[in-house]
Structure 1
């Protein structure tokens, strides 16, 4: 029953719509802290941040194109480009780790080593859960109802970063320096979690129930968001983050 229902036009349109929402958040969220500063020449980040940004935007656009292939029943193209997608995501994951290490290194140079190491849990936990979702999606490529949900869910933690940028601009006190405490990531995470509600509503309307992938995926995402707060200040995590950054020395 479920497979039959999900071959209708409605699911294809839903995933198309969500893909372009992902694109809008990814590009729009970085307007105040990247695009505008890039245009006026005030962006002072390291080259790895430009590489990371390029790969992030490429990955989001790649996903939108892949969803469009499915919507237009071009499954051969979708499968063929899926192989390239593995390489693109691998490069993105590496760039995320390197960008996090760069932030920790910058913290060490400016006297905020502990704060930077503490905050890095947001990045490292995010890439871990994203990788888990995508790995499971690849393992379930022959189960479309699982594959599509797992791929879509992988963008919720990925989009926490661009969603957090406008919050940072609006809520950071004047004169504040150094990485913020991890609890400031909860408001933007709560906003991006509205995507989870959209997935659940979609399940209810199309399947008449909540799909287990959506339910357990949402639980995992929210659990990671919450647990990052207490774990970030634990000495074991701070030591681990500094050790990871030390590997790049």
Structure 2
């Protein structure tokens, strides 16, 4: 019986480590491709660079933590976990600030309406924070903790997929295209559970369900009177004030 438990734990660890590395590779590929194609530059506002450092730092920490939990360095994993909790909170705060800054500057990507972009980014970064916080609360319940962390991290692959997918060709379904790509990671976890133990752990349903609920809510909230009122407050006094919240920005010049 003990042998079965150890084998199952080892199989779980291999799955989670593969998912963590795959998510990190998607993020690196998405943003490095953007830089190589000249769509990103180091002339962006300082806060964008701060956001990038926090984002990539969290990604590295996530992979390291996932690797540590399968080794003998459990104590180091626990210590770094509290660093990670603070880092995750910083990712949420910086993500919200950067989103607001971009919308105020009239800098929403042209394949999203500005209001949709504001609520999509904001709600999903809050979703990341919520799933990560839930995982921390469940840190002594390893099966829940690891799966909720994977679901939270999957959310952060959204911006990278946004740079890899042909989103201009997917208007007005660009947001849903990113959502489908993000959901590949929880889906892989579910399939892994079915193959190893014959059932899907409920943590996957909670994590994937959270992502799905957020995605379904973004459009209606962005187009609602309260959503437009909040958008107007966010852009008041900025260049975004002159941009129609529910109209797609013009395509950039070739």
TM-score (norm 1): 0.83
The alpha-carbon distance between structure 1 residues 35 and 101, as it changes in their structure 2 partners (threshold 3 A), is farther
> Residues 26-65 of structure 1: matches in 2 within 5 Å?
26-34=27-35, 36-37=37-38, 42-65=41-64
Question: Please, what is the CA RMSD of the aligned residues?
Answer: 2.8
Taking the aligned partners of 2:237 and 2:74, their CA distance within structure 1 comes to 42
Q: Name which of 127, 138, 150 aligns with 1:129.
A: 127
SS in 2 for 1:45: coil
Q: What is the Cα deviation at residue 223 of structure 1?
A: 2.2
SS in 2 for 1:69: helix
The answer as to whether partners of 2:104 and 2:234 remain within 8 angstroms in 1 is no
Taking the aligned partners of 1:232 and 1:69, their CA distance within structure 2 comes to 40
Taking the aligned partners of 2:172 and 2:81, their CA distance within structure 1 comes to 34
SS in 1 for 2:79: helix
Offset from partner CA, 1:36-95 (integer Å, 9 cap, x none) = 538xx8454211111111111110110100011111131101001111111211221111
Q: What is the Cα deviation at residue 115 of structure 1?
A: 4.0
Taking the aligned partners of 2:164 and 2:115, their CA distance within structure 1 comes to 22
> Residues 144-223 of structure 1: matches in 2 within 5 Å?
144-167=142-165, 170-172=166-168, 183-223=173-213
More displaced stretch, 26-35 vs 60-69:
26-35
Partner of 2:92: 93
The answer as to whether partners of 1:104 and 1:242 remain within 8 angstroms in 2 is no
Q: What is the Cα deviation at residue 159 of structure 1?
A: 1.0
Q: Which runs of 4+ in 1 moved over 6 A?
A: none
Q: What is the Cα deviation at residue 171 of structure 1?
A: 4.3
Partner of 2:21: 20
Q: What is the Cα deviation at residue 103 of structure 1?
A: 1.1
SS in 2 for 1:210: coil
Taking the aligned partners of 1:156 and 1:35, their CA distance within structure 2 comes to 24
The answer as to whether partners of 1:30 and 1:165 remain within 8 angstroms in 2 is yes
Q: Name which of 136, 141, 144 aligns with 1:143.
A: 141
The alpha-carbon distance between structure 1 residues 216 and 6, as it changes in their structure 2 partners (threshold 3 A), is farther
- Where does the alignment leave 5 or more consecutive residues of structure 2 unmatched? 239-254
The alpha-carbon distance between structure 1 residues 207 and 241, as it changes in their structure 2 partners (threshold 3 A), is farther
SS in 1 for 2:120: helix
- Where does the alignment leave 5 or more consecutive residues of structure 1 unmatched? 174-179
Partner of 1:240: 230
Taking the aligned partners of 1:185 and 1:117, their CA distance within structure 2 comes to 13
The alpha-carbon distance between structure 1 residues 32 and 238, as it changes in their structure 2 partners (threshold 3 A), is farther
Partner of 1:83: 82
Count residues in correspondence: 234
